[in-house]
Amino acid sequence: MRLSDARLFFLSAIAVVTVAAGCAGVPAAPAPVSPPVDPPSSPEWTQDMARFDAEDAAHAPPARPIVFTGSSSVRLWASLGADFPGRPVLNRGFGGSQLRDVVHYADQVAIRYRPRMIVVYAGDNDIDAKRTPQQVHSDFVALIARLRKDLPDTPIAYLSIKPSPLRVAQLPAQREANALIRAEANKWRRVEFIDVTAPMLDASGQPRGELFMADRLHMNAEGYAVWRKVVAPYLK
């Protein structure tokens, strides 16, 4: 075989292999790996899921809503619709819940609505229940992996764990969890970490008491006004 013929044969062989590989398809990127998740923190959440079912049956949720979900700071956001006029927001908060609960009920509180965006607030109750910042971070990873399984392109925003006068002793653990989650969010496409913590602290680094109701844990209208201002620019 002449040199030119040998070169032609070699290039043809490469072309055949390349075409065959293309026909077989390029392997898809591996699905996000979800770390193990502990069982739900309470059996009572099934009642909340039933409530959501009843609400959907009575009043059809908006098409492709911006779903807000998580613990009581979301559930008690009564002014949610008024705070974001013209946005198809849907409140699917269930009070007392932890991040792992949002993972377990992700379909009921978010995925089934095919949302245009998901906003999550959880982690506050986790730290209060003596879960470590590392556990909160692991549950955050599990939540993103779960959502990405069915909603690979949907924007997700996580609201940082808020400081409150009642749980001021937990500030160091909250800061650590927030830092871990912020760093993790930066690794994912279309996942945002929204810092609601900084504007809720006074000049000395303590929670601003005027933002809270008498229980010193849940926010009043002034507190939600702070959240509205911080969150609004992120809504899609």
What are the sequence ranges of the domains in the chain? 45-234
- pLDDT for residue 22 is more than 50: no
CB proximity list for 27: less than 8 A, separation 6 or greater? none
Mean predicted confidence (pLDDT) in 224-230: 98
Mean predicted confidence (pLDDT) in 107-116: 98
Q: What is the dihedral of CA 111, 122, 98, 148, to 10 degrees?
A: 30
Sheet strand arrangement including 89-93: 89-93, 66-70, 117-121, 156-159, 191-194
The three-state secondary structure class of 69 is strand
- pLDDT for residue 40 is more than 90: yes
- pLDDT for residue 129 is more than 90: yes
What pLDDT sits at residue 219? 98
Comparing 10 with 104, the larger pLDDT belongs to 104
**CA gap 144, 35 in Å, rounded:** 11
What pLDDT sits at residue 8? 40
pLDDT in tens, 170-196: 999 999 999 999 999 999 999 999 999
Mean predicted confidence (pLDDT) in 139-165: 98
Q: 45-234 is classed in which CATH architecture?
A: 3-Layer(aba) Sandwich (3.40)
pLDDT band at 33 (very low <50, low <70, confident <90, very high): confident
The answer to whether the CB of 196 falls within 8 A of the CB of 159 is yes
Mean predicted confidence (pLDDT) in 29-50: 86
What is this structure's pTM? 0.86
pLDDT in tens, 69-100: 999 999 999 999 999 999 999 999 999 999 99
- The amino acid occupying position 87 is R
**CA gap 178, 193 in Å, rounded:** 9
pLDDT in tens, 196-206: 999 999 999 99
